[in-house]
């Protein structure tokens, strides 16, 4: 595009940015790829659809139907969620939905958005890989005072990626603002356990984050928001979040154990000498910790019970189980940091499992609320169990599973750990005074 043409176009659009964003938008104009994006937007820009909430921007329609945005000055409260850079440009998404048969925009909130896992995940979501090629998305990124600059960096990279389906990006530090109308909340941000830190302290510090975020979801999010808790200790964080969000169905809360499922499938495939797509019906029972139980009794390889394919049952009971339980820790030793890319992939898998009908006869694992479970697992905790979905965002627990003494004993151990974690955070779930009597060997998969 000729420079002269760009500068005319850009003058019109630049007013759409808030003053704090002007330096970024100016620099954007110097890149040729951004130039074509700006003019592309201008050609298709009309008044924003009612769905596009941006209180500080208004627009008028010119004779050639091109939107001329005008800034309405507004003081931005500290911590408020803000649209970012090019995503503050508004256009008639409704018209685009009609012409391109796109679905209605969905709002996806992500906490810890400046962290390692998010850095992989956000670009997958924005590309359409997660929700589909006809699903426009709005990303609402939650950070903290620590990470405001980093969040802007993330948003800049999202801008520069020119994803057609990414219609809005906003960043903020107040969960009540960021979670507004969220239909998915991917809660990744949490304090990592540092050297010498007691697990009880980690439960308390991160529990407070998830109590606050539960309250914020309750107040601001879509009433049927689906919540996936990734930040550790994710099962108990999910329980705390759920208890602080009484208006959201308890069934909507998940703790991410899909990474453990994927790790278990990989190890079984390796041992059996088959590609990992041949492994199905893989359940992780219990806590996302070293007490988790990868279930080789119900899993299948090429449709056959694992024990019929892998005859080395000692390996299954000892090496396989421990390998999966401690995979995160081994990876930290090699990589120097915890799994980020594979965790992001497993979050994608977890979401897709809820929005796609589960294949006939198969299932997936998720940490979900135990009330009403058919396995006799203690009620009122978040425990990883086998689930199936019709693809509507909801799930049902699988009834046809078998147990033996080995499996039951292991499940009981993980259950005891989660009950102890629950007692430890009673002050955060509204159930009295927290009392920590955690089993000594309790660890995250990343700790060894
Ligand atoms: N369930 C699972 O399978 C897995 C879970 N995890 C867990 O996911 C979480 C995120 O991992 P990852 O993205 O690699 O971590 P990073 O350290 O890269 O990012 C974590 C983010 O957490 C936020 N955070 C929130 N509260 C605090 C705090 N008190 N101190 C420091 N940071 C805080 C920070 O963002 P900000 O400052 O913006 O709040 C930071 O960006 C961790 O809890 C990790 O243990 C990791 C792998 C697998
Ligand atoms: O302990 C951690 O932070 C990492 C983790 O959960 C995992 O790798 O499964």
pLDDT mean for each 10 residues of the chain (448 residues): 28 26 30 29 24 30 32 46 84 68 94 98 98 96 96 97 95 98 98 79 94 98 98 97 98 98 98 97 97 98 98 96 94 90 98 98 98 98 98 97 98 97 96 87 67
Ligand 1 mutation target, pool 117, 174, 239, 261, most atoms within 8 A of CB: 117
Cα(114)–Cα(107) distance, rounded to whole angstroms?
A: 18
pLDDT of residue 201: 87
Cβ atoms of 236 and 425 within 8 Å: the answer is yes
Q: Closest residue (by CA) to atom 32 of ligand 1? A: 191
Q: Supply 369's token pair.
A: 């609320």
Task: Compute, in angstroms, the gap from residue 338 CA to the centroid of ligand 1.
Answer: 10
Q: Which residues line ligand 1 (CB under 6 A)?
A: 112, 114-117, 143-144, 146-147, 188-192, 209, 230-232, 234, 256, 259, 288, 338-340, 343
Out of 189, 260, 341, 367, give the residue to mutate to test ligand 1, the one with the largest number of ligand atoms within 8 Å of its CB. 189
Nearest CA to ligand 2 atom 2: 446
**Which among 120, 288, 313, 427 is annotated as catalytic?**
288
Which pLDDT score, from 0 to 100, does residue 178 have? Answer: 98
Best probe residue, ligand 2, of 232, 261, 342 (max atoms within 8 Å of C-beta): 232
Ligand nearest to the CA of 237: 1
Is ligand 2 within 6 A of the CB of residue 446?
yes
pLDDT, residue 14, reads 25
Instruction: Report whether 238 contacts 332 (CB < 8 A).
Output: no
207 lines ligand 2 (CB under 6 A): no
Query: Can you give the pLDDT at residue 274?
Result: 97
Give this prediction's pTM: 0.84
Q: Is the dihedral of CA 82, 84, 88, 94 positive or negative?
A: negative
Preceding omega of 425 cis (within 30 degrees of 0): no
What is the predicted pLDDT for the residue at 92?
66
268 CA → ligand 1 middle, Å: 29
Q: What is the pLDDT of residue 68?
A: 33
| Ligand 2 contact via 202 beta carbon (within 6 Å) | no
For the CA of 229, the closest atom of ligand 1 is: 1
Atom number of ligand 2 nearest to Cα 193: 3
| Ligand 2 atom closest to Cα of residue 260 | 9
Integer angstrom CA distances of residue 42 from 16, 23, 47, 62: 12, 20, 11, 12
Q: Measuring from atom 8 of ligand 2, which residue has the nearest CA?
A: 328
Which of 294, 338, 343 is the pocket-test mutation for ligand 2 (most atoms within 8 Å of CB)?
338
User: How much is the pLDDT for 101?
Assistant: 83
The pLDDT of residue 194 is 74
Own/partner long-range contacts of 424-428 (Cβ < 8 Å, ≥24 apart): 424/200, 424/203, 424/204, 424/236, 425/203, 425/204, 425/207, 425/236, 425/239, 425/240, 428/204, 428/207, 428/208, 428/210, 428/211, 428/240, 428/243, 428/244
Q: Would you call 254 a catalytic residue per the annotation? A: no
DSSP code for 98: H
Point out the ligand 1 atom lying closest to the alpha carbon of residue 230. Answer: 1
DSSP assignment string, 5-71: HHHHHHHHHHTTS-GGGHHHHHHHHTSHHHHHHHHHHHHT--SPPTT---TTEEEEE-TTS-EEEEE
Pairing state between β 396-397 and 283-285: unpaired
From atom 38 of ligand 1, which residue's Cα is the shortest distance away?
143
């Amino acid at each position: 595009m000729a420079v002269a043409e760009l500068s005319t176009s850009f003058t019109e659009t630049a007013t759409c940015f808030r003053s704090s964003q002007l330096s970024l938008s100016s620099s954007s104009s110097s890149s040729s790829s951004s130039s074509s994006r700006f003019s592309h937007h201008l050609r298709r820009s009309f008044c924003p659809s009612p769905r596009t909430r941006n209180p500080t921007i208004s627009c008028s329609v010119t004779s050639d139907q091109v939107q001329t945005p005008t800034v309405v000055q507004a003081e931005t409260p500290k911590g408020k969620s803000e649209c970012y850079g090019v995503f503050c440009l508004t256009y008639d998404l409704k018209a685009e939905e009609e012409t391109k048969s796109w679905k209605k925009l969905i709002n996806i909130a992500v906490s810890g958005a400046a962290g390692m896992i998010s850095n992989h995940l956000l670009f997958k979501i924005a590309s359409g890989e997660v929700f589909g090629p006809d699903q426009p998305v709005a990303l609402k990124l939650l950070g903290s005072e620590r990470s405001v600059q980093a969040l802007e960096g993330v948003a800049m990279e999202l801008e520069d990626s020119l994803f057609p389906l990414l219609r809005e990006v906003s960043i903020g530090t107040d969960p009540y603002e960021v979670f507004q109308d969220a239909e998915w909340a991917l809660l990744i941000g949490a304090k990592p356990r540092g050297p010498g830190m007691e697990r009880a302290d980690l439960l308390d510090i991160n529990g407070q984050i998830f109590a606050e975020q539960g309250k914020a979801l309750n107040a601001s999010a879509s009433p049927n928001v689906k919540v996936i808790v990734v930040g550790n200790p994710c099962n108990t964080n999910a329980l705390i979040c759920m208890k602080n969000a009484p208006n959201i169905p308890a069934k909507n809360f998940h703790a991410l154990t899909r990474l453990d499922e994927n790790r278990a499938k990989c190890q079984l495939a390796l041992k059996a000498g088959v590609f990992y797509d041949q492994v199905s019906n893989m359940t992780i029972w219990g806590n996302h910790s070293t007490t988790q139980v990868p279930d080789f009794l119900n899993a299948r390889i090429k449709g056959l019970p694992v024990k019929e394919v892998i005859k080395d049952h000692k390996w299954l009971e000892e090496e396989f189980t421990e390998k999966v339980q401690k995979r995160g820790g081994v990876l930290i030793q090699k990589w120097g940091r915890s799994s980020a890319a594979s965790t992001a992939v497993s979050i994608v898998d977890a979401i897709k499992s809820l929005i796609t009908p589960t294949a006939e006869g198969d299932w997936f694992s998720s940490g979900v609320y135990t009330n009403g479970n058919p396995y006799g697992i203690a009620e009122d905790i978040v425990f990883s169990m086998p689930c199936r979905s019709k693809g509507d965002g909801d799930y049902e627990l699988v009834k046809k599973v078998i147990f033996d003494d080995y499996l039951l004993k292991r499940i009981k151990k993980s259950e005891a750990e989660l009950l102890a974690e629950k007692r430890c955070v009673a002050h955060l779930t509204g159930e009295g005074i927290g009392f920590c009597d955690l089993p000594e060997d309790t660890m995250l998969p990343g700790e060894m």
